[in-house]
Amino acid sequence: SAVISQKPSRDICQRGTSLTIQCQVDSQVTMMFWYRQQPGQSLTLIATANQGSEATYESGFVIDKFPISRPNLTFSTLTVSIMSPEDSSIYLCSVVGSTSTDTQYFGPGTRLTVL
Amino acid sequence: GEDVEQSLFLSVREGDSSVINCTYTDSSSTYLYWYKQEPGAGLQLLTYIFSNMDMKQDQRLTVLLNKKDKHLSLRIADTQTGDSAIYFCAESRISNTGKLIFGQGTTLQVKP
């Protein structure tokens, strides 16, 4: 399985600021995703990070609020823009490897608190 | 709809078997997964099953799939206190490269 790291692991931010979360994988992967887990809730897909092109967003999520980059096959960033307390969540990246039998593996998550 | 449903809480005694249940709605689901989340941690993939299988066993874990009833279960044999966590079931509908739909998670409490 792929080894996935995220930075930062946690942060406390002020309302109105923006935070960029990084996701690094130790091998090339075909697909990368960003999920949100609100407090006490399950996971919801934000978007699919596409290498070299714009991310594909799920209903309820927009690029202006959650800009995503994926410059290569091992790295992606998610920015949470102009944050409010409602953005307090765990943000997780996940990957699918390069073989058809691979499944989705998740990073350790970034725990974000917005004051 | 896109519902994946799980019971929210299960309590067992150490050494007993735990059975966590999940129901899903879409018959086109291709892969079904079980993830474990310990407090303050990310998601750990425990096991998964292809939709054309009925059962999969991996050490203490047994997954049963009833496609007719759209019911998935995870059995943990000889449950240990280290198994205490939240268990999420998830389904994938576009091969194994697509969006995962997660259940609400079942909190497993193991009493010594």
What the block records as the tokens of B93 is: 């509908």
What pLDDT score does A98 carry?
A: 65
CA separation for the pair A102, B97 (Å, rounded): 9
Q: Is B99 on the interface with A (CB under 8 A)?
A: yes
Whether pLDDT at B32 is above 80: yes
Give the Cβ contact number of residue B72 at 10 Å.
27
Q: Which residue has the tokens 């090339």?
A: A28
User: Which of the residue ranges A12-21, A101-110, B53-62 would you say has the lowest mean pLDDT?
Assistant: A101-110
Of the residues A43, A89, A93, A101, the best mutation for testing chain B's interface (the one with the most B CB atoms within 10 Å of its CB) is A43
Question: Which residues from A are below 8 Å from B7, CB to CB?
Answer: none
Cβ <8 Å between A107 and B42: yes
CA B67 to chain centre: 15
What pLDDT score does B40 carry?
A: 80
Whether pLDDT at B52 is above 90: no
CA separation for the pair A13, A20 (Å, rounded): 11
What pLDDT score does B66 carry?
A: 93
Whether pLDDT at B18 is above 60: yes
What the block records as the tokens of A56 is: 């594909």
Q: What is the DSSP string of B12-51?
A: EETTS-EEEEEEE--TT--EEEEEEE-TT--EEEEEEEET
In sequence order, the β-bridge partners of residue B27 are: none
What the block records as the tokens of B27 is: 């018959």
User: Which of the residue ranges A26-30, A67-71, B108-112 would you say has the lowest mean pLDDT?
Assistant: A26-30
CA separation for the pair B86, A14 (Å, rounded): 30
Cβ <8 Å between B96 and A103: yes
